[in-house]
Amino acid sequence: MGQEHSSNGRPLNVPNRAGAVSQSVPQRPVEVERPPPRLREGRGGPCEERRSSATERPSTSAQPTVVKFHPKRGNNVVIEQNGMVARRSDSFCDAITFVDYALKLNEVLRIKIISMESTWNGILRLGVTQHGPLSIESLPRYSCPNLSGKPGFWIKSLDTEGAVEETVVSFFVSPAGDLNLKCGSGDYFVFLSGVATRSRGLWPVIDVYGNTTGVQLLGVTGRDSPAELVPEPPVRRRSRSPAVLRSAVPRAPAPSGSA
């Protein structure tokens, strides 16, 4: 039996079989139960899967600029791994190398010491030059003092305590003309001062010297790049004793018959 309606078209309240008056209730749309979001296993446990919208841009991190060693090098240097590794093949010197990239101010070069030996005194020497490698007619056997004593070169020996195998060495030149350097996750300190900042670029100089026998280039990043593994520390100055800068000579053998 159909629903009775009044003259204005509205349904009438009519008694049911039990005599009670039933009032018609407007129907609501049926709610469809939605499945729970799918979960995927992440590094930190389950996390909710999310779809990005068309206007959402993926987050990106600055990748290091790939750099290689320049063909200009000392006689005892062998370049390997597509130009990214330099090894000294003989003696303790004549292993000056350059990077084929001119650093801008606040650009960080990161290198790794990949091999060492204990035959010699002396250690890796680092710095920058405002002279393009091809403009240097001939390379001396020693970067210090043969190059460091010339205008446009800023080169110095690392401390033996910090320059050990597998150490990552990072350095950059600030607008103030300081070459700031750190070993591993330590603090930056002023390694060299008085670097010319009006140069069009500063070519890194790496002398694979003394006990250091192999160096790998890790790339160039900006000062604020995520590749910098620790928050930016205040740059501090560290005094160094002249005794640290030793000449690379063979170690003297122990006297015979000594205890």
What is the per-residue pLDDT across 77-86, written as a single tens digit (0 to 9) for each?
999 999 999 9
**Side chain identity, residue 202:** L
| pLDDT, mean of residues 195-222 | 95
Helix (H, G, I), strand (E, B) or coil at 215: strand
Helix (H, G, I), strand (E, B) or coil at 211: coil
Report the residue count for the chain: 259
Range from 60-74, 77-91, 139-153, 180-194 carrying the lowest mean pLDDT: 60-74
Share of the chain above pLDDT 90, in %: 55
Helix (H, G, I), strand (E, B) or coil at 246: coil
How far, in Å, CA of 164 to CA of 60, rounded? 33
Spatial CB neighbours of 47, under 8 Å, sequence gap ≥ 6: 39, 40
Spatial CB neighbours of 147, under 8 Å, sequence gap ≥ 6: 96, 129, 140, 153, 155, 205
What is the predicted pLDDT for the residue at 255? 45
pTM here is 0.66
In this predicted structure, the answer to whether residue 2 has a pLDDT above a threshold of 70 is: no
What are the tens digits of pLDDT across the range 33-61? 554 444 333 333 333 322 332 222 333 34
- Which residues are paired to 78 by β-bridges? 87
The answer to whether the CB of 129 falls within 8 A of the CB of 202 is yes
How far, in Å, CA of 201 to CA of 104, rounded? 6
Q: Is 83 left (phi over 0), alpha (psi -120 to 50) or beta?
A: left
What is the predicted pLDDT for the residue at 9? 54
φ/ψ (deg, to 5) at 213: -120, -10
Alpha helices in the chain (DSSP H): none
Helix (H, G, I), strand (E, B) or coil at 104: coil
The answer to whether the CB of 138 falls within 8 A of the CB of 101 is no
